[in-house]
Structure 1
């Protein structure tokens, strides 16, 4: 059941979270306006490409610390959205924790961090928690895309295009890992931000045998663009053996992801 809290108590949670910041951080909050609102307005929702009930938890608007001339006093606005936070949480303790995370998340933007650069614990979600059905649908979507990419990679390899094979195999591996992680119950909002190295690291935590696929990360660093004038074209820089390895790694990842998503009538 969602939590409901009066405005005064909610604002007290925000102040308590700000008070947790060390003094050397709090001195950079001079000039910061902190507000609590029920929901973002329609204009902001349109700007962010969100529709109800997918609401953000908070917002920071203003300059970032690395971009200002007077770092210990510059304007900015942090807003926390009370109703979405209450709808997300099932207890006052959970609400207190999520308010704290959201405050630190928005302060992170003031210090110059992007969403992708923050720790998972500080990546505030948007909207209500993903249901199991919605999470599975997202996993199946990634698996379908991965399967299509894998088929394309196989066709390209058979046609003698090693560079395009690597490109398609990496796309299949990326989407296959997302499907695999969602099948293990990972947070879709967090997984959406990760690149191939982070995705594989998460997958290894669920299945340590996937460590042997780490050479895939080396393939991810292969430059598939045309490069400087005078350099050989990508098709000549990528050996068939490299393309074969990329295809094999992608096949295993997609197969593992499919195993983790049995048809609905086969689940225990």
Structure 2
């Protein structure tokens, strides 16, 4: 079940996350406003190209440290979105951890890091490596979702909904790869923005036998959008054989993730 905290309780989690920052980070917080909103407004969602329920956890609005004249005191705002964070997490401990990670993520933007390059460096600088127990719990969480997505893909394949089956199978494969990589010791933040090509490349570096999943790269490239005007819709474009292959790949990856987690 999603977590529900009072606004005061949620804001306390945010204060805890900020208090954990070492002094060399906190000295760059002068001029920074940190606030909590329930959800981003419609204008921001449109600007980001997002549609509910695909909400972000937070945002940073303001200049980055390399671009200012007085790095010890410059304006900016971090907003954490309370409801998406609560709906994502299954316990207060998980929510506390996700709030902390979101605060650090948005601070990374204030310090000038991009989404792709910021997370490992910021976590290392803040001295908060992932504990082994937390990393394995994250692996188990991804595996549970991979199994759920796989079940949906199998049911959709049996019903002849080949485009939806492909989509669910790819989601399952993505999460199974994440579960595997976390079980093998990868940092959750390091793989947070990876897609299937990057996840599979990491898996192959751990075990070259995972090259057998190379067909996933082709399947991941199958377009599921409507395309140009007059083009066949996805329900007509995705062939049964493609959906079957995707579900088969997902089944094998979920089996690998289960075995690795035992």
TM-score by length of 1: 0.59
- 8 Å CA contact 2:177–2:203 kept in 1: the answer is yes
1:45 offset after TM fit, Å? 7.6
- 8 Å CA contact 2:152–2:168 kept in 1: the answer is yes
| Partner SS, residue 115 of structure 2 | coil
- 8 Å CA contact 2:142–2:179 kept in 1: the answer is yes
2:114 corresponds in structure 1 to: 114
For 1:75 and 1:62, the matched residues in 2 are separated by 11
1:77 corresponds in structure 2 to: 71
Runs (5+) with no aligned partner, structure 2: 1-21, 38-59, 74-106
Runs (5+) with no aligned partner, structure 1: 1-9, 12-34, 48-58, 66-72, 80-104, 263-268
> What's the C-alpha RMSD, in Å, of the aligned pairs?
3.7
- Number of aligned residue pairs: 186
1:109 offset after TM fit, Å? 6.3
1:212 offset after TM fit, Å? 1.6
2:216 corresponds in structure 1 to: 216
For 1:128 and 1:45, the matched residues in 2 are separated by 23
1:244 corresponds in structure 2 to: 244
For 2:62 and 2:199, the matched residues in 1 are separated by 30
- 8 Å CA contact 2:146–2:172 kept in 1: the answer is yes
For 2:193 and 2:199, the matched residues in 1 are separated by 9
TM-score by length of 2: 0.60
| 2:41 counterpart of 1:37 | no
| Partner SS, residue 114 of structure 2 | coil
| 2:130 counterpart of 1:134 | no
| Partner SS, residue 71 of structure 2 | strand
List structure 1 segments (4+ residues) > 6 angstroms apart after TM superposition: 105-109
